[in-house]
Structure 1
Amino acid sequence: MRLETHRRGARRALLAATSLAALVVPPAVASAQDRTDVVEEIIVTATKRDATILDVPFSINAQSQADIQKSGAVTLEDLSRNVAGLTIQNLGPGQSQVSVRGVSAGQVVRDQPGVKEQVGVYLDESVISLSLFTPDIDLFDLNRVETLRGPQGTLFGSGSVGGTIRYITNQPKLGAYEGTVEANFNTLKGGDVGGYVKGAVNLPLSDKAALRVVGYDTEYGGFVDALGEGGARKNNVNDGYRRGGRVSLLFKPTEDITITPRLVYQKIHAGGFNRQEAFNLFANPFTTTRPAIALGEREQYLLLDESFGDKTFLGDLTASFGFNGLKLTSVTSYIDRKIAVNRDASALSGSVSVDLGFPAAAVTLPSKLVDTTDLEQFTQEARLGSDGDGPFQWLVGAFYSKVDRVYNQRLPTPGYDAYTDATLGAGTSAAVANGFPANSPYNASLPYKIKQKAVFGEASYEIQKLTITAGGRYYDFSENRRFTSGGLFANGDDQVDKTSSDGFTPRLLLSYKANPGLTFNAQASKGFRLGGVNDPLNLPLCTPADAAIFGGFQAYDDETLWNYEGGVKTRMGGVTFNGAVFYTDIKNLQTTLDAGSCSSRVVFNVPKAHTKGIEGELSARLAPGFDLRVSGSLLQAEFDSTVRDGTGAVIGGIREGNRLPSVPKFQISVSATYTRTLTETMDGYVTASFQHVGNRYTQASDQENNPRSFVSGLPFGGASGNDATVLNLQLPSYDIINLSAGVQMDDGLDIIAYVNNVSDENALLSFDRERGGRARLGYSIGQPRTVGLTIRKSF
């Protein structure tokens, strides 16, 4: 308690000191009236060249630095509510999963390291996406965030089957001293306090060089409480922090040569998970020899502390050379990423112990599942393109990536071997160890080597008002993986799997500029997602029925889709509207299923599926100082195939007409901002926003036999083993209301007070089950009502 008090006191002192420092920074001059009258024009680089959103020939959303600051967004999930067709599953800091336009395989979890991402994520020119954990990049000092909807395989490659998200940072500027410092303090309803300090500075080194340095330190307040043995209780266990920074150097020896090396480092730590439990083997209403417990809102039950850690280092070098109307660009990047997940697996291992006939003392042994990922990735891209303003524009390039990734799992359970040998026979624990440590009933090591090569190109030709763009990408991919397992719960595997594939993904776009403020677009494009190999089932944990149903799924093929869309973009005075209708025809959709009692998840291909829908984004200056923004999407995402097992039963909800998982049919965001000049040097503004996210299913199987009765079948703690926990697995829709008010001064000082999630909505984001519900049932949940104050000073 004393340590925590000291941490909070130090944090508040640091916030106060930074706020005070912000007040004495030399001011920059700006006009207050300008801020109420100017409608911002965002320049994007989604086509690898500068263009306005109106001129990009496909569906794109871009949120500028000012948009991000006004909305109060600090995570990709915050941003997604204002982007039509973008869906985020927030599983905690650094653990988001992204889908665009309903192209989704459902929940992917920590123990599926072979699954590839469906949405590519880039930090400027460097690819940083990883399916299990989309990097939770800090949004400070970003120029903008671009969301490219639909397949982007031509220019952005694998992982962009549904779309691409690009974090575009502010680059070093020649001849400019400028910067920003920002401080925040917030408090969560029923939870902890949080806050951050951030700073960015641009320093000219000469007339040909400049340096930009960014740093940030964020403390996340926790809001989930953990009950424990003997009536113990720990409050706000899912607190954490994010710390990091970027250093970018710009060297521009001539007008035609630009060289930008950069270093990025970020560390994330979460003390637990945003999980609300409905059933736990050790804490449920059915026990009689143990205290009967009904877990409440924002509560879970733990025998051991949990944590998530992510250390990411990125070094990249972007260089461009212009000559004779051409531009040559080289992007070299290296990523070293280390992820460590510690999850309380006591209920999981305890449920197996009950099945094996172990005594109660063995069932309640604390057991921790430790997952570690050690990833190194090298990528090189080179492209050559036209650099003029003529009617014919073109670009060709080549891409190479090499990934070395080692994924390990351990289940340290002190004292477990003694109970194993006593129950199953002396020497059993040593016989099944397969070289792994003692007292760890499950262990696995999976080193991967993944290589990808690609060549791509795109060309466009403008004929009066019509522009025709055609492009394509050829890729060649190979993956080598070794799987080794050991321990009582494992099979004792030692196998090597190799997969490879190649293919071509074309794209054709038409853009008709009816007048300077009105453009019509049409597109047909193909996307791809690389396949892989499932891990073997944990057969000692499987019931015979589950082993028979799920044991046949090993390798899964590339997922491909064709996207067809038509859109309109218009700008008339202070009104901008971007809209599109689309249809995607998906082949071999990679779908994730929970393999029941096996404590495994498998991916397999569904032959046919589709998504179709309409999306739109409107922004309007309705009156001087009054801005309205509306974005929304209406979506149908369904299977077009039915998959059955040998008995004729539908597997995992893969039934024609069933919905694809994790995707709402409808979501909408509305925000309004009123800005008024208070004095000659100060504006005041108020902002209100409303976001609605429709109902979803976490996995495809959740819509079968729903509401679902989960019967643990485990006679433990006086429970009969026949008691059912009944849950509706359709995640309900939720509404989030945010309010903020602030002042902006000509000297660069902004002060903003805000309330997020005004109604304190307890949003259920995904459903989590362990061992088919025999161990633990719960939900990932959103953040409660948050009240905060932000002070920002630009100079």
Structure 2
Amino acid sequence: MSIQVLGQARLDQLQVQAFDDYVRFLPSVTYQTAGPGSARVYFRGVSSGENANHSSSQPTVGIYLDEQPITTIQGALDIHLYDIARVEALAGPQGTLYGSSSEAGTIRIITNKPDPSKFSGAFDFEVNKVTDGEFGYVAEGFVNVPLSDKIAVRAVGWYDKDAGFIDNVLATRRFPVSGILATTAPFVEDDYNDVETYGGRIALGIELDDSWTITPAIMGQKQRSDGFFGQESGRAKKRQVAQFNPEFNTDDWYQASLTIEGKVGDWSLTYAGAYLKRNIDGISDYSDYSYFYDALNGSGAYICDNAGNLVSPNQYIISKPRFTKQSHEFRIASPADKRLRLIAGLFYQRQKNGIEENYIIDNIADIITVKGTDSNIWLTKQVRVDRDYAVFGELAYDITDKLTLTAGTRVYKYDNSLVGFFGYAAGFSSRTGEAACFNTDGTTRRSNPAGTPVPNTVAGAPCINLDRRTKDTDWLPKVNLTYKINDDALVYATFSRGFRPGGINRRGTVEPYAPDVLDNYELGFKTSFADNKVRFNGAIYQLDWDDVQFSSLGENGLTIIRNAGNARIRGFEFDLNVQPTTGLTLGVSGSYNNAKLVTDFCASANSTQDCTIPGPGGAANSVLAPAGTRLPDTARFKGNAVARYEVEVRDGIDAHIQGAVVREGKRLGDLRPATRAIVGDFPGYTTVDLSVGFKTGRFSAELYGTNIFDVNGQTSRSVQCGESICGDPDGVTASGGIFYTYVIRPRTIGLKVGTKF
């Protein structure tokens, strides 16, 4: 398979501490993020421009911590990386062994395990300075303690303070209908998007005998991020924003895991189970939404207090999602030295997301306040449950000493549901929110789409206006043929399939969306020359992506997901590493992806993707994106080059110097050409990192600079409501449209010192 690995030494050399750091050096991987803990990951150009949130599609990329999946619906866990053995990037569908969250690829973070053979440990400290920002600090360490010749415990801890670099500047805004003035003055602050992260990991390794080991572990992290991580279009300058409400986000999570490995005869058995709990609390500004709807639709006329006086429509969101996930996998494997080999297993996982989003306008009248809240103009209070079941297996057969055939399959079932409340009070809207509920205070008012009354089972919801479920069963194939030319070269051909489950749209009048499927046709090679001083790996591939799940902002800013048609990605990737002389290593890797639609994307989806077929109720259909449109978010080319020279300057003192260059090409801002014209594209950018340091005995020191030319690279963009509203393409409002562009970290200069024992 196509796999790229960043080992422990390389992770240290590249200053990798978090997700944003290591994904830069994986050429097949791109990402979007709106701040810590919100990253969306893509492999090989498999992206339709997802507007990811708590009620949208599952990710196309699976992320694993050791043997356990930690993929979540609402963004990748922002794990601080320390005492990590390696990070693996498995490109292409990994559906047979890794399941539904690995439609396009899998990232595995492998930790260092307890070692009963020796006592060891390390401490590392860092101070850094960010351009346009303040100072940051890092302290981290681990200790490995043998408790006997067969039992050891390994404990890891870290504290990381990232300096902010976005300024919240002084600005005013007058709401058109009421004439009420809003100002950012109470919240003006330089460098206000600082992040504080601390956490730890502890694992116990128990060797019961020569065949069986048990590894219970627990890892937890608390992360507090203040401010906002985008720069605003329009009135603000580079790395500036104007937000009219306080903003912060806390992301607390822990995962308890258990891995049992052993043998029965010559067969290997593995059980991997985990329980993940993640709580997020945050406040975010939502005043753009109120302002633009006031300016364009006069909505401010309905925002009043109990006396009938107009009040400021200034709006903010208090978020309280509560996420839990449990997973269980049992695998058996036949002896690896046999001509015929088998891996087979069972898998189950259940993800539950308790969704709470309070959209608040202070001091509004009781009649327009959602029942049971203090001042909510809108409430989302829902429970989403995603269930996955699977039986999987792979057979490998050595046809000859050089030729191996592998065939695998995964039979899966998903069962996903969404129940709860979303919307306005009955006094504010006669057709959404409370007015559309199936019941009020336990008394049935309406029936759900299935025709049965629905009790109010969601605590904190005034009533239930959404209760839907979707499920399906199918299977995934994989076939691989590998030929070993000699001990230093092989070629392979692979067909593999991945999928992403269907799900529920939180606007109940919109039908559930169907699964999408990714077929991968791949040819690759792996080679080594000159006593392993030259390694060259590569692959070419075609990905056929059918029934693409596409999400967009609809009415009331609700995410709507539809199956947008079919796409095709053709590309190649390569990885070259050379050691021309003693102490000098050179590496270059890259990927190219030509990703585009092969069918029209219709305003109302249908099974044939024929945009001449009317939509529901005979509604007019139209082409939102024609066949041939390039897919968004991923550059045609991404690559990096790293050069490192190590030399012994004196007896027992080793020094090094290193340079790294990363290139990210231009990316499109949206799949739909009309929306793309409003949103704009993301320009390509190149970053350069440099470091110099030495180590002697147990001690080390390093001076480094990342993004030394202070490039303001753009990773993603957002808007608080539909692009045609808050983007204001017609210039109806005085301020024009407002988008938020999320940018990479500015130039950072740091000094690291450490000791090992």
| TM superposition score category, shorter chain reference | 0.7 to 0.9
CA contact (8 A) 2:477 2:497 kept: yes
How far the C-alpha of 1:792 sits from its partner, in A, is 2.0
TM-score w.r.t. the length of structure 2 is 0.86
Which of 686, 693, 697 in structure 2 is aligned with 1:735?
A: 686
Count residues with an aligned counterpart. 673
1:520 corresponds to: 491
Distance (Å, rounded) in 1 between the aligned partners of 2:56 and 2:293? 26
2:353 corresponds to: 405
Matched, 1:633 2:591: yes
Once the two structures are superposed, residues 83-138 of structure 1 have per-residue CA deviations (whole angstroms, 9 ceiling, x without a partner) of 2211121321112110001111324333x424201100000001001132101111
1:697 corresponds to: 668
1:224 corresponds to: 166
1:415-430 matches, within 5 Å, as 415-417=363-365, 428-429=367-368
Once the two structures are superposed, residues 613-671 of structure 1 have per-residue CA deviations (whole angstroms, 9 ceiling, x without a partner) of 010011110111111110101111111111233545322xx321111121111111011
Matched, 1:604 2:545: no
CA contact (8 A) 1:346 1:364 kept: no
Which of 95, 99, 118 in structure 1 is aligned with 2:42?
A: 99
Q: Residue 213 and residue 619 in structure 1: after superposition, are their counterparts in 2 closer, same or farther (change >3 A)?
A: same
How far the C-alpha of 1:347 sits from its partner, in A, is 2.2
How far the C-alpha of 1:362 sits from its partner, in A, is 5.3
CA contact (8 A) 1:677 1:684 kept: yes
Distance (Å, rounded) in 2 between the aligned partners of 1:644 and 1:323? 55
Letter in structure 1 aligned against 2:659:
A
Distance (Å, rounded) in 2 between the aligned partners of 1:363 and 1:521? 67
Letter in structure 2 aligned against 1:753:
L
How far the C-alpha of 1:365 sits from its partner, in A, is 4.5
CA contact (8 A) 2:311 2:364 kept: no
How far the C-alpha of 1:267 sits from its partner, in A, is 1.0
Distance (Å, rounded) in 1 between the aligned partners of 2:311 and 2:568? 45
CA contact (8 A) 2:133 2:163 kept: yes
- Give 3-state SS (helix, strand or coil) of 1:531's partner: coil
Once the two structures are superposed, residues 265-301 of structure 1 have per-residue CA deviations (whole angstroms, 9 ceiling, x without a partner) of 111111022110114xxxxxxxxxxxxxx21111111
Matched, 1:74 2:11: no
Letter in structure 1 aligned against 2:549:
Q
Distance (Å, rounded) in 2 between the aligned partners of 1:567 and 1:63? 20
2:755 corresponds to: 793
- Give 3-state SS (helix, strand or coil) of 2:722's partner: helix
- Give 3-state SS (helix, strand or coil) of 2:16's partner: coil
Once the two structures are superposed, residues 161-202 of structure 1 have per-residue CA deviations (whole angstroms, 9 ceiling, x without a partner) of 000000000000012101111111111111121121000110
2:316 corresponds to: 368
Distance (Å, rounded) in 1 between the aligned partners of 2:653 and 2:35? 38
Matched, 1:340 2:284: no
How far the C-alpha of 1:335 sits from its partner, in A, is 0.9
Which of 357, 362, 384 in structure 2 is aligned with 1:448?
A: 384
Letter in structure 2 aligned against 1:454:
A
CA contact (8 A) 1:274 1:782 kept: no
1:576 corresponds to: 535
Distance (Å, rounded) in 2 between the aligned partners of 1:512 and 1:353? 66
Unmatched 5+ residue regions in structure 1? 1-57, 280-293, 418-426, 538-550, 709-726
Unmatched 5+ residue regions in structure 2? 171-182, 304-308, 437-464, 604-618, 727-737
Matched, 1:484 2:439: no
Letter in structure 1 aligned against 2:213:
T
TM-score w.r.t. the length of structure 1 is 0.82
Once the two structures are superposed, residues 691-719 of structure 1 have per-residue CA deviations (whole angstroms, 9 ceiling, x without a partner) of 11011123312x437543xxxxxxxxxxx
How far the C-alpha of 1:502 sits from its partner, in A, is 1.2
Which of 739, 744, 747 in structure 2 is aligned with 1:782?
A: 744
Which of 509, 520, 539 in structure 2 is aligned with 1:563?
A: 520
- Give 3-state SS (helix, strand or coil) of 1:533's partner: coil
2:646 corresponds to: 675
2:404 corresponds to: 467
CA contact (8 A) 1:61 1:148 kept: yes
Once the two structures are superposed, residues 595-623 of structure 1 have per-residue CA deviations (whole angstroms, 9 ceiling, x without a partner) of 2x631221111221111101001111011
Distance (Å, rounded) in 1 between the aligned partners of 2:192 and 2:313? 21
Once the two structures are superposed, residues 728-781 of structure 1 have per-residue CA deviations (whole angstroms, 9 ceiling, x without a partner) of x11100111111111122x13221111111111111111211223544312111
- Give 3-state SS (helix, strand or coil) of 1:771's partner: coil
How far the C-alpha of 1:428 sits from its partner, in A, is 4.0
Distance (Å, rounded) in 2 between the aligned partners of 1:521 and 1:273? 46
CA contact (8 A) 2:184 2:242 kept: no
How far the C-alpha of 1:377 sits from its partner, in A, is 1.4
Distance (Å, rounded) in 2 between the aligned partners of 1:660 and 1:246? 39
Letter in structure 1 aligned against 2:683:
P
CA contact (8 A) 2:284 2:316 kept: yes
2:269 corresponds to: 328
CA contact (8 A) 1:436 1:486 kept: no
- Give 3-state SS (helix, strand or coil) of 1:389's partner: coil
- Give 3-state SS (helix, strand or coil) of 2:360's partner: coil
1:535 corresponds to: 506
Q: Residue 253 and residue 230 in structure 1: after superposition, are their counterparts in 2 closer, same or farther (change >3 A)?
A: closer
Letter in structure 2 aligned against 1:266:
Q
Matched, 1:591 2:533: no
1:757 corresponds to: 707
How far the C-alpha of 1:357 sits from its partner, in A, is 4.8
1:380-399 matches, within 5 Å, as 380-399=328-347
Distance (Å, rounded) in 2 between the aligned partners of 1:121 and 1:627? 29
Q: Residue 707 and residue 479 in structure 1: after superposition, are their counterparts in 2 closer, same or farther (change >3 A)?
A: closer
2:174 corresponds to: none
1:17-28 matches, within 5 Å, as none
Distance (Å, rounded) in 2 between the aligned partners of 1:200 and 1:374? 30
Matched, 1:497 2:456: no
Matched, 1:147 2:98: no
**Which is further off, 349-358 or 196-205?**
349-358
Distance (Å, rounded) in 2 between the aligned partners of 1:619 and 1:675? 16
CA contact (8 A) 2:56 2:551 kept: no
CA RMSD of aligned residues (A): 1.8
Q: Residue 65 and residue 554 in structure 1: after superposition, are their counterparts in 2 closer, same or farther (change >3 A)?
A: same
Q: Residue 526 and residue 230 in structure 1: after superposition, are their counterparts in 2 closer, same or farther (change >3 A)?
A: closer
Q: Residue 444 and residue 706 in structure 1: after superposition, are their counterparts in 2 closer, same or farther (change >3 A)?
A: closer
Relative contact order (alpha carbons < 8 A, sep ≥ 6): 1 or 2 greater? 1
- Give 3-state SS (helix, strand or coil) of 2:237's partner: coil
Distance (Å, rounded) in 2 between the aligned partners of 1:349 and 1:440? 13
How far the C-alpha of 1:231 sits from its partner, in A, is 5.3
1:260 corresponds to: 215
Point out the structure with the larger helix share: 1
Distance (Å, rounded) in 2 between the aligned partners of 1:366 and 1:491? 21
